[in-house]
Structure 1
Amino acid sequence: MAEEATVPKPEAAEQLNIKVKDADGNEVFFKVKRTTKLSKLKRAYAERMGKPENSVRFIFDGQRIGDDDTADSLDMNDQDEIDAMIEQLGGW
């Protein structure tokens, strides 16, 4: 009888619970993997809120989140909050 080799399972990517809050106080919660690009989160948020994706801007710790950023690259933790802003053009 042959011995079975034990192959370690790759660790599942840790999931974070992230809160996205807009200026009106609306909160939407998402569960994301640490390695998922946050552009996917922004797309889901815009769709859920009924806003065009290109008009939504995400801010985390005072810095704008880029499309290629991930929770890992921004050193995000579970229960962190992202501020959602709607881009406005024009004015004085």
Structure 2
Amino acid sequence: EAKPEPKAGSLEIKIKDQQENETFFKIKKHTKFGKVFDAYCDRQSLARNTVRFLFEGTRVQDNDTPESLDLEDGDMIQAMLEQVGG
């Protein structure tokens, strides 16, 4: 069964972690990713400063939006845990 098309101006993205777990978010094209990443870290019980988010290999900044990165419905962002210490 086909998924309904998202409303104009919004899209669904997924954030995938290193264990291949996917979390879906329906957001507006002008939503800043900082807000999405805060929600993701809350859901995953992760400290916000321990996770990097990448889209096609480039780090996504909190002020970026789906529109500024030219994201399309269904695009994926990778969540990478920072390596701490050493």
**Contact (CA 8 Å) 1:13, 1:34: kept in 2 or not?**
no
Q: Structure 2: which 5+ residue stretches go unaligned?
A: 1-6
Distance in 1, matches of 2:84 and 2:15, equals 22
Query: Which secondary structure does the structure 1 equivalent of 2:49 belong to?
Result: helix
Q: Confirm whether residue 15 of structure 1 aligns to residue 10 of structure 2.
A: yes
Rg (Cα) greater in structure: 1
How many residues end up aligned between the 2 structures? 80
Q: CA deviation at 1:13?
A: 5.9
The alignment's C-alpha RMSD in Å is 1.2
Distance in 2, matches of 1:27 and 1:39, equals 18
Q: Confirm whether residue 57 of structure 1 aligns to residue 52 of structure 2.
A: yes
Percent identity (aligned): 50
Q: After TM superposition, which residue ranges in structure 1, 4 or more long, deviate above 3 angstroms?
A: none
Q: Structure 1: which 5+ residue stretches go unaligned?
A: 1-11
TM-score, normalised to structure 1, is 0.82
TM-score, normalised to structure 2, is 0.88
Distance in 2, matches of 1:13 and 1:67, equals 23
Query: Which secondary structure does the structure 2 equivalent of 1:77 belong to?
Result: coil
